[in-house]
Amino acid sequence: MTDTATAARPKIVIIGAGFGGLAAAREFAGKPVDVTLIDKRNYHLFQPLLYQVATADLSPADIAWPIRSIFRDAANIRVVLGKVTGIDEASQSVETSEGPVPYDHLIIANGAGNAYFGHDDWPVHAPGLKTVVDATTVRRNILLAFERAETAADEAERHRQLTFVIIGGGPTGVEMAGAIAELARVALARDFRQIDPRAANVVLVEGGPRILPALSDDLSAYARQALEKLGVEVHTGTMVENIDAEGVTVGGARIPAATVIWGAGVGVHGTAEWLDTKPERGGRIAVGADLTLPDHPEIRVIGDAAAVAWPQGPGENATVPGIAPAAKQEGKYVAKAILATISGKPSKPFKYRHAGNLATIGRHSAVVDLDRFKLTGWPAWWFWGLAHIYFLIGVRAASLVLLQWFWTYLTRRKGARLITGVTTEAHPVRESETKR
């Protein structure tokens, strides 16, 4: 490229540095385009392992990497730490807290957050697991519950503190339930004097007829049995009716519980408002077979933010699932499609290749449901572990994360069992109290 050509290089703007946005940006590295990657956080988060931060196996920095570091050698990729406030489709500009960012091609990959189906009072009692702060909040809640059980005044309160309810039987809920059960039964077993952490009650509540609905019937049944073997109480076909500071009401029954974790729903926040359009279910934006917006071939939506038809998928009107491999495929596809468009070449429609589904159940078991084979038990756990290490290497050399895992695995201790931050109510544990 000559210097004079630089001014005329197409401007690509990517909103969001999750799996989709990152995959797209990677394709553009070193290409004759100017890319601006906008995210409200300074790091890419490896969300599939976030539950291990919540259960004190990993530290946030083990699964999050500064976006600037990832692209430090890509001179044509600029990173903006800022919040998107709107999109001006007429003038082709993204409005952000750091000023307007003009685009020739826009990729919207802002992902999904937790969704509580209109219950605005539930998030404070039942945090979800989408962000680092979510995970450290859940970690604090879980660890404080054991502490409060240790000093509880009566048996009812002790039982309430030792009851953990997880709402939602998808992979997040299953993995959290298994990990909390193991935390109580192994890592904390001998740490208290007044309580036996092994007496903890872990309850998993799923509204549908079975947990892990994306997996086959037999794997779903296996997962349920494996959880029950760990001591988890599994309720299916049970809807959550209320969540408050004292516990939950599910299927007409009251469960006093100090810790409630939300894994029942995600939703896309903001995208429809930016585009001034009516979203699909969960706030997702409907896109065409080339992942562009109707009437806006210069705007593409990918990842959790998009509703992409999946003709080969299960059931009628199936859409591509909100998982990392799908977002990565879409990110790569749209980047290639934009580069083709710039070169005046056509692109084929996007075709999703579904690799399969998997979920861990504690430290020794998992279920893996691939096209070609199924696995359960510890072979599935190792498959799951190696698959995640492989994906992690894509972001950063994974040796340290691997070591941290083995360390925890070998010592059966939890390396990140810190209660940090400011707690709610008048509880004594306030980090900031040393500064008066």
Closer residue to a copy of itself (CB): 104 or 150:
150
Closer residue to a copy of itself (CB): 156 or 370:
156
User: Is 161 strand, coil or helix?
Assistant: helix
Closer residue to a copy of itself (CB): 288 or 421:
421
Task: Provide, rounded to whole angstroms, the least separation between the CB of residue 146 and a copy of itself.
Answer: 9
Burial of 321 (0-12, 13-18, 19+ CB in 10 A): middle
Q: Cβ atoms within 10 A of the Cβ of 67, count? A: 23
Task: Provide, rounded to whole angstroms, the least separation between the CB of residue 46 and a copy of itself.
Answer: 12
Question: What are the residues whose beta carbons fall under 8 Å from the beta carbon of 237, sequence distance 6 or more?
Answer: 206, 207, 208, 209, 251
Enter the tokens of residue 210.
């079975």
Torsion angles phi and psi, residue 220, rounded to 5: -60, -45
Closer residue to a copy of itself (CB): 234 or 283:
283
175 is catalytic: yes
Closer residue to a copy of itself (CB): 64 or 293:
64
Cα–Cα distance for residue pair 280/20, rounded to 1 Å = 19
Cα–Cα distance for residue pair 292/59, rounded to 1 Å = 37
Enter the tokens of residue 183.
């935390």
Closer residue to a copy of itself (CB): 353 or 436:
436
Q: Return the CA Rg of the chain.
A: 23
DSSP 215: S
Task: Provide, rounded to whole angstroms, the least separation between the CB of residue 78 and a copy of itself.
Answer: 5
The active-site residue, picked from 175, 182, 206, 330, is 175
Task: Provide, rounded to whole angstroms, the least separation between the CB of residue 333 and a copy of itself.
Answer: 25
Task: Provide, rounded to whole angstroms, the least separation between the CB of residue 233 and a copy of itself.
Answer: 26
User: Is 294 strand, coil or helix?
Assistant: coil
Tokens 């925890």 belong to which residue? 408
Task: Provide, rounded to whole angstroms, the least separation between the CB of residue 369 and a copy of itself.
Answer: 29
Cα–Cα distance for residue pair 410/388, rounded to 1 Å = 19
**Which 3-state string (H, E, C) describes 190-240?**
CCCCCCCHHHCEEEEECCCCCCCCCCCHHHHHHHHHHHHHCCEEEECCCCE
Cα–Cα distance for residue pair 127/264, rounded to 1 Å = 11
Which residues are catalytic, by number?
175
